[in-house]
Structure 1
């Protein structure tokens, strides 16, 4: 008596179906977007956004460069 179906082929097809369904569920799970609204603005500027801090930092940098270059003479 000949079998009407091959167990190996049936197993492969059912395994492929399970993998396909699992991957589709993962894709659907990632489809929804998350609504997150964060307000990190405290109403005050950061210290590095102040123009006088840039001038002060530049002056300190120039003083350090001059001190390093004069020390070699």
Structure 2
């Protein structure tokens, strides 16, 4: 039983060391190049009112389905 615990501990330590090595091995970039293409085209699903109306319709449909599944006694 103690051998299993020792093997698990050694495995955990080696796993943590491997994670540390991988995280330090990441390439560091000195330059950050960010390009944002902003055009005047309007996409319909980016408007907040579309999401509000869609949410209301979804809630109403959900309520209708749940209300219809009630058993009447």
Say yes or no: TM over 0.5. no
TM-score, normalised to structure 1, is: 0.41
Larger radius of gyration: 1
